[in-house]
Amino acid sequence: MTLSETAPAAEQDPLLVEESGRVVTLTLRRPHRRNAMSTAMLEQLAAKLSDLTGRQGTMPGALVLTGAGGTFSSGADTGEPDWHDLSRRAVRRAHFRTVFAALHEAPFPVIAAVEGYALGGGLELALACDLVVAGEGALFGLPELGVGAVPGGGAVHSLLRRAGRGVAARMLLIPGERLRADELARLGAVERTVPDGDALAEAQALAASVAAGDPALLGAGVRLLRDSGHLDRTAALGVENGYWWQAAAAANREPSPPSDHRS
């Protein structure tokens, strides 16, 4: 069966949701389009993230994002019929921003399992995760300038923070530039590389290990990680102090932080 023959079923359900213990895996499932993110896929992804982050009592311990068919995502689907309609592009952009905001606010760690390509919005989706596990030959890139756009989902900011200005400049400004996962791992933008084909299994094992921790402390840990990375040291220590007191209060060591305390 060819990819084109499987396309209609994939279009009807472009997001696969699987749960195993406290680990949830979301799989982008449009392999016939290299998991390019259509409006329907973005709507489903935004809705599912909202559902997961809003759960009461059954909160996941960790989330894995991956792609079907040996690739993560080739980015936004520029082949959609209304791609050049500015109002429709604004709708898709709103969905993208909802997804990225949900990942940033998720009270559990999010791990990307990357194989094949992570390009444009696909790279942005991977870098929006707390950890990136990738097959060593996976390719990452930002082709936006070559297709009449600029990145709009935080990839440049993430690359500047994770790997530095030089890497961000190479990927943004050099036409056709693609960096392998093993190179990005050396530069700090990918946390773990594995043999090609093993990224999902490794990410799920890592997620299960992480999810075994105390949910309240895990939530505080990921919020500390996300909220303090862009701050100077003084401000970051203030954020850290707040989360320290939250953890202490949760453990009944102190009901509330003294207003004049300095950690």
Q: What is the CATH number of the domain that holds 66?
A: 3.90.226.10
One domain for residues 85 and 110: yes
Number of structural domains in the chain: 2
Domain boundary among 185, 211, 237: 211
pLDDT value, residue 235: 85
- Dihedral sign of CA atoms 159, 161, 162, 168 in order: positive
Residue at 81 is within a domain? yes
Residue 60 confidence (pLDDT) above 80: yes
pLDDT value, residue 11: 59
pTM: 0.87
One domain for residues 21 and 102: yes
Residues 145, 172: contact at Cβ < 8 Å? yes
Mean pLDDT of the chain: 87
Cα 263 from chain centroid? 32
Averaged over 195-211, what is the pLDDT?
A: 97
Let me know the angle formed at the C-alpha of 168 by 149 and 38, rounded to the nearest 5 degrees.
Answer: 40
pLDDT value, residue 4: 37
One domain for residues 200 and 81: yes
One domain for residues 189 and 238: no
Distance CA 250, CA 92 (A): 40
pLDDT value, residue 228: 83
3-class secondary structure, 1: coil
Parent domain of 17: 3-211
One domain for residues 149 and 237: no
Distance CA 178, CA 140 (A): 5
Looking at the chain, the whole-number percentage of residues with pLDDT higher than 70 is 90
3-class secondary structure, 59: coil
